[in-house]
Amino acid sequence: MTAEQVTGTQGLIFNYLLIFEQGGEGRIGYSLPDCDVPEKNINNILPEDMVREEISGFPSLSEVDVVRHFTRLSQWNYAVDSGFYPLGSCTMKYNPKINEDVARLSGFSNIHPYQSEELSQGALQMMYELCEYLSEIGGMDRVSLQPAAGAHGELTGMMVIKAYLDSKGEKRHKVLIPDSAHGTNPASSSLCGYKVVEIKSNGRGLLDSDAVDKAMNEDVAAFMITNPNTLGLFEENILEITEIVHRKGGLVYCDGANLNALMGIARPGDMGVDVLHFNLHKTFSTPHGGGGPGAGPIGVKKGLIPFLPIPIIKKEQEIYKLNYDLPHSIGRVKAFYGNFGVLVRAYTYIRTMGAEGLRKASETAVLNANYIMSRLKSHYHLPYDRWCMHECVFSDKIQNKNGITTLDIAKALMDYGFHPPTIYFPLIVKGAIMIEPTETEGKDTLDSFIEAMKDIAIRAERGPDSIKKSPLKPKVGRLNETKAAREPDLRWKKS
């Protein structure tokens, strides 16, 4: 497929008013029969403080006005159901609709968190079995489903580590974190009162065992690692690193955000990891992004189980119960038992895929990323030219010679109908372009994306004028991003 064939289109675009600027006096969005019972003044029935006042400035709209407004907004919004999201470290993959159907079953969607355990056996069984599945996938001994997102899982995991060390009378003050870590890693450590010590990656984008050994001492509580790391590379020295940390009495925390490359193939628990969080909203189907919801369960090894958040779910003679009997628990970290709908989707995904399906998903994600990397590395600078895992990282070093930046490339890609990849992350690669295709994209989609990226690289050779004004085809053109953030204007104007 040529670049011309994948070029985006403007279609029919109209300059619509805001919903509050539409409508007219007398328009209504419903048609009801005449009332066949005596009418009463609501002010004579309800207390004054319970009667809703009319909303000032509320628009009067017909049904078609309302339907067109929300349909139009849905069409303007880019979504995983409408196109490819090549966002690195975000795992924006397709969410099978069977997962949505199961999450909407009345027994799940209408259940109340205050419902008794006797009347919640189905939900508790699902959660108990999900814990068992995640423990098996991650190589951990027990899982808590409470954390609401990945960063929340990190914080919970570090709280568990701190409580464990405190129970042993060990007052350690430092946490080692690679320079390729997610930004939330140092934040989670800092919130737990730890000082963060950065470990530099080597020239191959990996951690050296010697560097970890040099930094590791009896004042280090934990080592936080992401594997595969944020460069999309597997930490080959992981077994040596975890052994070094354990030898000095520290614990190993693994950020599970990139588990989409490992599930069914390798288990962090077998690599010496003591605490692992799972991004259910990334690896196990619920679409990630847009503010949530998410779920970041944590798995721990046996010695850390007493410190997990309460309650945890236990099974006694085929009866499922909430266990609050953990005297050393860090307590609750989330109201009730976690983001339940996300848990249902993850459970359905795992049961549908099975062990072979999960492994196949990881293998395909890795294959797709390496396919993109191999097809584009002659057009874009590849700082670490070696086999990647589920994502690959380029930079704008070649294009920058002609005044084209990573931001320009991302903006230009929108004219081809593609959502831009992650840019300027990880920070250790200047002008980073981070691409994660996931396992759900077919070769035809990847080829179209690759052709668009190649065409942008060719245009960049002509100089800045060919790209600097992009995007030209979406509803909104090139914005002053600083001004847009500080002075947002919701009214759409043709640029």
Peptide bond into 311 cis (omega under 30): yes
What pLDDT digit, counting tens, does each position of 385-414 carry? Answer: 999 999 999 999 999 999 999 999 999 999
> How far is it, in rounded angstroms, from Cα 413 to Cα 88?
15
Instruction: Map tokens 């991302």 to a residue.
Output: 410
CATH number of 361-486: 3.90.1150.10
CATH 3.40.640.10 is held by the domain 98-353:
yes
What pLDDT digit, counting tens, does each position of 356-372 carry? Answer: 999 999 999 999 999 99
What pLDDT digit, counting tens, does each position of 7-24 carry? Answer: 555 666 667 788 888 888
Segments of 173-277 assigned E as strands: 174-178, 195-199, 220-226, 251-255, 275-277
Name all contacts of 164-168 with Cβ < 8 Å and 24+ positions apart: 164/251, 164/303, 164/304, 164/307, 165/221, 165/251, 167/307, 167/328
Other CB atoms within 10 A of residue 302 CB: 10
pLDDT bin (cut points 50, 70, 90) of residue 27 is: confident
| Exposure letters 173-199 (e unless 16+ CB within 10 A, then b) | ebbbbbebbbebbbebbeebebebbeb
pLDDT surpassing 60 at residue 227: yes
More confident residue, 238 or 74: 238
> Contact 103/97 with Cβ under 8 angstroms?
no
Q: Which of 347, 455, 434, 429 is nearest to 96 (CA)?
A: 347
Q: Using the 8-state DSSP alphabet, how is residue 383 labeled?
A: S
| Residue 424 Rama label (left phi>0; alpha psi -120 to 50; beta) | left
For residue 394, the model assigns a pLDDT of 98
Supply 248's token pair.
């000095």
> How far is it, in rounded angstroms, from Cα 492 to Cα 210?
55
Instruction: Map tokens 């840019």 to a residue.
Output: 423
pTM, to two decimals:
0.90
What pLDDT digit, counting tens, does each position of 266-299 carry? Answer: 999 999 999 999 999 999 988 766 666 889 999 9
> How far is it, in rounded angstroms, from Cα 112 to Cα 329?
25
Supply 442's token pair.
């077919």
Lowest mean pLDDT among 241-245, 379-383, 384-388, 474-478: 474-478
pLDDT surpassing 60 at residue 440: yes
Instruction: Write the CB contacts of 275 (distance below 8 Å, at least 6 apart in sequence).
Output: 157, 160, 161, 222, 251, 252, 253, 254, 298, 299, 300, 301, 304
In the chain, what's the furthest Cα-to-Cα distance?
A: 85
Residue 365 forms beta bridges with which residues?
none
pLDDT surpassing 70 at residue 352: yes
Percent share of the chain, pLDDT over 90: 73
Lowest mean pLDDT among 7-21, 70-84, 181-195, 453-467: 7-21
Read off the pLDDT of each residue in 242-248 and give the average, rounded to a whole number.
98
Q: Which of 269, 287, 285 is nearest to 277 (CA)?
A: 269
For residue 124, the model assigns a pLDDT of 97
Percent share of the chain, pLDDT over 70: 95
Read off the pLDDT of each residue in 449-456 and give the average, rounded to a whole number.
97
What is the identity of the amino acid at 418? F
Q: Domain segments of the chain: what residues?
A: 98-353, 361-486
Instruction: Write the CB contacts of 224 (distance below 8 Å, at least 6 apart in sequence).
Output: 154, 158, 175, 176, 177, 178, 181, 185, 188, 189, 253, 254, 255
What pLDDT digit, counting tens, does each position of 307-330 carry? Answer: 999 999 999 999 999 999 999 999
Q: Using the 8-state DSSP alphabet, how is residue 272 labeled?
A: T
